[in-house]
Amino acid sequence: MRIAFLTAHEGVEQIELTDPWEAAKHAGHEPRLIATRPGTVRAFHHLDKADTFPVDQTVSDASADDYDALVLPGGLANPDALRMDGKAVAFVRSFFDAGKPVAAICHAPWTLVEADVVRGRTLTSWPSLRTDIRNAGGHWVDEQVQVCQAAPSTLITSRKPGDLKAFCAAFTAEFAHSSGVAAGR
């Protein structure tokens, strides 16, 4: 299964990129880094600069048709930048339109709110997004991980870096299930 990891060019929370990336690889998936600009993305440890990671493809050149699932890592600056990028928002929305699973952690649901895909869904996030999610028609819960299987696609969300173990277990299980369903198993 090819999994798109979408980030802005700067501001992704490093552990929210690297832990899910490694979980996806360990589960036999092929993660690909999609970003708003070519070159590298700059990760952060909270507000401090961290490592850089090579971009596999820009969101301008990417299509949900080329991927089986989407992961949206958080960080404060990352989803704020993504929600201001029309191509990134359209890319996210296209996964929901295609019925493909999406996983988002921490502040990443800001991009989901902008893509107008939370209405009628139950999800979790960093607590400060609670009102944004409710105002967008979603039902916010304070849980370590939330799996919402509302049609047309499954949405897996988590609150924070401390929830990464549960988040990774949930999205890899759901992605494996979706892969089996897509293959007719």
**pLDDT tens-digit readout, 10-67:** 999 999 999 999 999 999 999 999 999 999 999 999 999 999 999 999 999 999 999 9
- Tally of domains in the chain: 1
Span 145-149, average pLDDT: 97
- Residue 80: closest CA among 103, 118, 110: 110
The overall longest dimension of the chain from CA atoms, in Å, is 45
Read off the pTM: 0.96
CA distance 8 to 34: 8
* 70 backbone dihedrals φ, ψ, rounded to 5°: -135, 135
Catalytic status, residue 29: no
Residue with tokens 């989901």: 112
pLDDT band at 179 (very low <50, low <70, confident <90, very high): confident
Band (180; pLDDT cuts 50, 70, 90): low
Angle between helices 164-182 and 14-26 (to 10 degrees): 40
Residue 148: band (very low, low, confident or very high) from pLDDT cuts 50, 70, 90: very high
Query: Catalytic residue at 106?
Result: yes
Q: Which of 34, 31, 54 is CA-nearest to residue 42?
A: 54
Which of these is catalytic: 106, 148, 168, 177?
Answer: 106
**Catalytic position from the list 107, 148, 168, 177:** 107
In which domain, by residue range, is 66 found? 2-182
**Rounded percentage of the chain residues whose pLDDT exceeds 70:** 97
Q: The domain that contains 117 carries what CATH number?
A: 3.40.50.880
Q: Does the structure show a pLDDT above 70 at 181?
A: no
Q: Evaluate whether 36 touches 9 at the Cβ level (below 8 Å).
A: yes
State residue 151's pLDDT score.
Answer: 86
Residue 168 tokens read as 């990774």
